Amino acid sequence: MILGLETSCDETAAALVTADGEVRANVVASQAELHARYGGVVPEVASRRHLELVAPVVERALADAGAGLADVDAVAVTRGPGLIGALLVGLSAAKTLAWSRRLPLVPVDHLHGHVASLFLEPGSVEPPFLCLLATGGHTLLLDVQDRAGYRVVGTTLDDAAGEAFDKGARLLGLGYPGGAAIDRLARAGDPEAFSLPVARVPGFDFSFSGLKTALVYAVRALEAGELERRRADLAASYQRAIVRALVGRTRAAAEALGAQKVAVVGGVASNSELRESLADAELAPLALCTDNAAMIASAARFATAIPFPDYLALDAYASAA
Judgement on whether residues 99 and 133 belong to the same structural domain of the protein: no
Diameter over CA atoms, the chain: 64
What does 237-251 look like in DSSP terms, one character per residue? Answer: HHHHHHHHHHHHHHH
Helix ranges, 11-139 (H): 32-36, 43-65, 84-100, 110-116
DSSP state of 191: T
Judgement on whether residues 163 and 251 belong to the same structural domain of the protein: yes
Residue 236 backbone phi and psi in degrees, to 5: -65, -40
Judgement on whether residues 51 and 75 belong to the same structural domain of the protein: yes
Q: Report CA Rg, the chain.
A: 20
- Contact between 17 and 61 under an 8 Å Cβ cutoff? The reply is no
Domain assignment of residue 316, yes or no:
no
Mean pLDDT by 10 residues, the chain (321 residues): 97 97 97 87 95 98 98 98 98 98 98 98 96 96 98 96 95 91 97 93 94 96 93 98 97 97 97 97 96 98 98 94 60
Task: Identify the pLDDT of residue 45.
Answer: 96
Judgement on whether residues 156 and 239 belong to the same structural domain of the protein: yes
Q: The domain that contains 110 carries what CATH number?
A: 3.30.420.40
Judgement on whether residues 163 and 92 belong to the same structural domain of the protein: no
Task: Identify the pLDDT of residue 321.
Answer: 60
- Contact between 108 and 79 under an 8 Å Cβ cutoff? The reply is yes
Domain assignment of residue 280, yes or no:
no
Domain assignment of residue 63, yes or no:
yes
Q: SS3 for 319?
A: coil
Domain that holds residue 181: 129-260
Q: Which of 143, 142, 136 minimizes the C-alpha distance to 242?
A: 136
Domain assignment of residue 184, yes or no:
yes
Any long-range contacts for 208-214 (C-beta under 8 Å, 24+ apart)?
208/139, 208/156, 208/158, 208/159, 208/160, 208/161, 208/163, 208/164, 208/242, 208/245, 209/158, 209/159, 211/164, 211/238, 211/241, 211/242, 211/245, 212/159, 212/164, 212/167, 212/168, 212/171
Question: Across 149-254, where does the E strand assignment appear?
Answer: 151-155
Judgement on whether residues 188 and 108 belong to the same structural domain of the protein: no
Residues 233, 210: Cα–Cα separation, whole Å: 19
Q: How many domains does the chain have?
A: 2
Domain assignment of residue 306, yes or no:
no
Q: Which amino acid is at 157?
A: L
Judgement on whether residues 141 and 50 belong to the same structural domain of the protein: no
Of 209, 244, 260, the last residue of a domain is: 260
Domain assignment of residue 272, yes or no:
no
- Contact between 86 and 78 under an 8 Å Cβ cutoff? The reply is no
